[in-house]
A and B are shown apart, each in its own frame.
Chain A
Amino acid sequence: MINFQYARANDVADAVRMIATDPTAKFIAGGTNLIDLMKEDVERPSGLIDISRLPLKGVEETSDGGVRIGALVPNSDLAWHPLIEQRYPLLRNAILAGASQQLRNMASTGGNLLQRTRCAYFYDIATPCNKREPGSGCSAIGGINRIHAILGTSESCIATHPSDMCVALAALDAKVHVTGPAGERVLAFTDFHRLPDSSPQTDTNLHPNELITAVELPAKGFPANYSYLKIRDRLSYAFALVSIAAAMELEGGTIGEARLALGGVAHKPWRDSAAESALRGQPANQTTFEQAADILLRDARGYEHNTFKIDLARRGIVRTLTQAAQATPQSQSDKKIR
């Protein structure tokens, strides 16, 4: 870990001002990912601006029936907040599938969006990695790539986004509120994270010096028919090989609006409007679910060790949609997949 300056921001404007004076500084809130990466010398910020005391910790209903989540709400508080438990149980389940309770107690909502990949080469500064050192090459292509992406990859990077929470937020059509030197703006969640293309060093469309202030959920939360299924190498405290967030409206066995998002398969939480369209208006059955899965995975491409993910994702999608349709969401504590 390099030597860095530490400063505490008193309010949002202060934070944005402070970061503008030092472009190589970073905000720190929970620190669960940033400190980890700083200890590995992957992240080497000249300064840390402590935003953990900013008043961004509320979970409030919005005028249009949605919920606005302050960027500093800890993951665990969010998961167990009554508004989330009752109206957005998909989000609750996704959060509780991630990390450990200790980490969820620390990690902030905004920070979760900014988690960096678990690609081993990104973490190992002795190996080339375009995300860490642009232009050095991608070691995962042709290397150990069992956990890597099958969708939206590029010649430069096949890393995945490791978050569970973000998969649910993508499925729920969340919005991200940010504040920067140019003022406030709102990004659709699906526009927040980027695909790697030729610049995998940039994970998101957040502008330099912008601060995430809130994540907003629309009124529609799919509290009746949802499920989050995370498939991993051990039964808890492991990153996803593939995770699936599914939610739908059902009327007499026919699907109304439907949402489907995948984690562990791409550089961002993967949502595909064509797959969701294929669900809408269709009977909630195996055939429909398989069609949606095939559409979502139509461009999937495996590498040496991760081709299994394509079939796993396909089966997982069908399973999760079935769980959602049957209103039997996957429990995070009972490890049997129902």
Chain B
Amino acid sequence: MTQANTVGRAPTSPAPTKILVALDVNGRQRQLTVAPWTTLLDALRDHLDLTGTKKGCDHGQCGACTVLVDGRRINSCLTLAVMKDGAKITTVEGLATEGALHPLQQAFIDHDAFQCGYCTPGQICSAAGLIAEGKAKSADEIRELMSGNICRCGAYPNIVAAIQQAMGTMAGRS
């Protein structure tokens, strides 16, 4: 149907050279070839079909893309995949173990800590990072250190309650 000029043109601007990157994603060794301009977020979503990690702004302004890299929470939208060669990545898909939900996942359900669910994987990964950091004790501290994850549905009080529940569960286990 198109009358486009796709015929008879030769590209003169070559696509970027792709680079082989090895990542440990949720405990699995993954190799992928990506262009330098591919972010970790797009690599996960488009190359590895791990769409649990969300794109909400693509500019580090919302936190929906939060994943754990070597145990630390970061914005995968501002991270080039090539720079994380060899890193250990944990996404929301990697939190449940053998079908059992992570305490944070269960707590988010219990406290209805989401509505549309789009910020949720980022919230949960961020909360996992927060708990690992061990700096947040009070509700005020949780609120402040979770402020990099926007929830437009406005589930914040339930998110704080869910994190407090999971902190309790996880402290009980260790």
- Chain A residues 209 to 259 lying within 8 A of chain B, measured CB to CB, are 235-237
Interface pick from B44-52, B89-97, B105-113, B133-141: B133-141
Tell me the minimal C-beta distance from A35 to chain B in angstroms: 5
- Give bound CA distance, A48 to B150, whole Å: 30
> Is B102 an interface position by the 8 A CB rule?
no
Interfacial chain A residues near B143, Cβ < 8 Å: 236, 333
Which residues on A sit within 8 Å (CB–CB) of B63?
Answer: 100, 102
Other-chain contact of A52, B39, B83, B133 (Cβ < 8 Å): B83
Q: Specify which of B72, B140, B150 is in contact with A333 (CB 8 Å cutoff).
A: B140
Q: Are B37 and A1 in contact (CB-based, < 8 A)?
A: yes
| Pair A101/B148 contact, Cβ less than 8 Å | yes
B16 A3 Cβ-Cβ under 8 A = yes
Closest chain A residue to B82, Cβ basis: A6
The size bracket of the interface on A is 20 to 34
Chain B interface mostly helix, strand, loop or mixed?
A: mixed
The answer to whether the Cβ of B74 comes within 8 Å of any Cβ in the partner chain is yes
A4-B16, A101-B126, A333-B141 are known contacts. Are A32 and B78 too (CB-CB below 8 A)? Answer: yes
Q: Are B75 and A106 in contact (CB under 8 A)?
A: yes
Query: A27-42, CB under 8 A of B: which get 1 and which 0?
Result: 0100110011001100
Q: Please measure, in the bound complex, the distance between the C-alpha atom of A270 and the C-alpha atom of B58, giving whole angstroms.
A: 32
Say whether B161 faces chain A, with CB atoms less than 8 Å apart: no
Known: A100-B147, A102-B73, A103-B60. A3 touches B79 (CB 8 A): no
Please determine whether B37 and A3 come into contact, CB atoms closer than 8 angstroms: yes
Inside 8 A of A99's CB, which chain B residues have their CB?
Answer: 148
Q: Interface digits, B130-174 against A, CB 8 Å rule (1 contact, 0 not)?
A: 100101001011011101111000000000000000000000000
Q: Please tell me if B32 contacts chain A, counting CB pairs below 8 Å.
A: no
Chain B nearest CB, measured from A70 CB (Å) = 17
Given known pairs A6-B80, A39-B58, A101-B73, the reply for A237 and B37 (CB within 8 Å) is no
Q: Is A80 an interface residue (CB 8 A)?
A: yes
Does A5 reach chain B (CB closer than 8 Å)?
Answer: yes
Question: A39-B58, A101-B130 given as contacts; is B36 within 8 A of A4 (CB)?
Answer: yes
Closest A residue to B59 by beta carbon equals A36
The CA-CA distance from A334 to B142 in the complex, in Å, is: 11
Measured in the bound complex, the distance between the Cα atoms of B19 and A148 in whole Å is 41
Q: Which residues of A contact B73 (CB under 8 A)?
A: 101-102, 105
B59 and A39 contact, CB distance less than 8 A: yes
Report how far A52 CA is from B87 CA in the complex, Å.
13
Instruction: Using known A-B contacts A6-B82, A101-B148, A102-B66, determine if residue A32 contacts B75 with beta carbons closer than 8 Å.
Output: yes
- B interface list, Cβ under 8 A from A: 13, 15-16, 19, 36-37, 39, 58-60, 63, 66, 72-75, 78-80, 82-83, 126, 129-130, 133, 135, 138, 140-141, 143-145, 147-150
Known: A101-B148, A105-B74. 4 other contacts (CB 8 A): A36-B78, A102-B60, A102-B129, A236-B143
Listed A/B pairs (16) with beta-carbon separation below 8 Å: A3-B15, A4-B16, A31-B78, A31-B79, A31-B83, A35-B80, A52-B83, A76-B133, A80-B135, A101-B133, A103-B78, A105-B72, A105-B73, A106-B75, A106-B78, A333-B145
Top 9 nearest A-B pairs by Cβ distance? A100-B148, A6-B36, A236-B147, A333-B144, A333-B140, A333-B141, A237-B147, A35-B78, A105-B72
